[in-house]
Amino acid sequence: MAIEINAEIRNVAGKGAARSIRKNSNIPAVIYGEKKAPVAIELNGRDFEMLLKTPALRTKLFNIKTANGVEDAMLMDVQYHPVSDKIIHADFKRINVKEPVNVVVPVEVINMETSRGIKVGGVLNFAVRKVALRGLVQNIPEKITIDLTNLGIGETVHGSDLVLPSGIELGLHQAELAFATIGGKMAEEADNKAAAAAAAAANAAAPAAAAAPAKK
């Protein structure tokens, strides 16, 4: 579902105008892209700050309502003041909802406590925590999950193993990436090596014991 926001058209651009907007607790922003002229807008500062708490906001479709109509867009960037950390500007990019877009979403691992490999002493290496995806914006997921339940020691989840929603595909060079691996030695292998070492030590000690003179 698209996020609907209202915006005022800014007829005056420049640093002075932007400062004036921020003094009124609002936020200057711009909508660009799709081979159309950029449109300078003004957002309600309080509403936009609350909106930024929405999870995975940069994967969402925005319907930005202005006096010129409604713009379909995605949030591309939010700029903050280096000292006060207040929002000073926002960038939106127009999109065609009928065309695929490229986005990056977080990757999350689940079921560590029941993982086959971790239960026998394996250690998780969660190497790649974001994945590039391509698809229609309305089909883009907030995140991709990796289920560790059946992952054993020495096994890896590559990009090509990720479970994606219908209509969503991996971005370039994502298929071969190793996202998560369970490293370590199998408990059975460790036990076998320990038993072999003990047997070798016993065999080495036996001739020495046999050669030793009996005590009187």
Give domain limits for the chain.
Answer: 3-94, 101-188
- Share of residues in the chain with pLDDT > 90 (%): 76
Instruction: Note the pLDDT tens digit of each residue in 22-40.
Output: 988 999 999 999 999 999 9
Residue 197 has pLDDT above 80, yes or no: no
Cβ–Cβ under 8 Å, residues 96 and 123: no
The angle formed by the CA atoms of residues 133, 138 and 139, to the nearest 5 degrees, is 50
pTM of the predicted model as reported, rounded to 2 decimal places: 0.76
Residue 152 has pLDDT above 80, yes or no: yes
Record: fold of 101-188: RNA Polymerase Alpha Subunit; Chain A, domain 2 (2.170.120)
Residue 112 has pLDDT above 60, yes or no: yes
So what's the pLDDT on residue 155? 96
Record: fold of 3-94: Ribosomal Protein L25; Chain P (2.40.240)
User: Residue 56 corresponds to which amino acid?
Assistant: A
55 vs 119: CA distance, rounded Å: 32
Residue 216 has pLDDT above 70, yes or no: no
Q: Give 147's pLDDT tier (boundaries 50, 70, 90).
A: very high
Residue 13 has pLDDT above 90, yes or no: no
So what's the pLDDT on residue 16? 79
Task: Determine the average pLDDT of the residues in 61-80.
Answer: 96
Comparing 6-20, 118-132, 153-167, the range with the smallest average pLDDT is 6-20
So what's the pLDDT on residue 135? 97
Domains 3-94 and 101-188 fall in the same CATH topology: no
Question: For the chain, what is the mean pLDDT?
Answer: 89
Structure tokens at 16: 């002075």
Torsion 196-202-204-206 (CA) sign: negative
Task: Determine the average pLDDT of the residues in 184-196.
Answer: 57
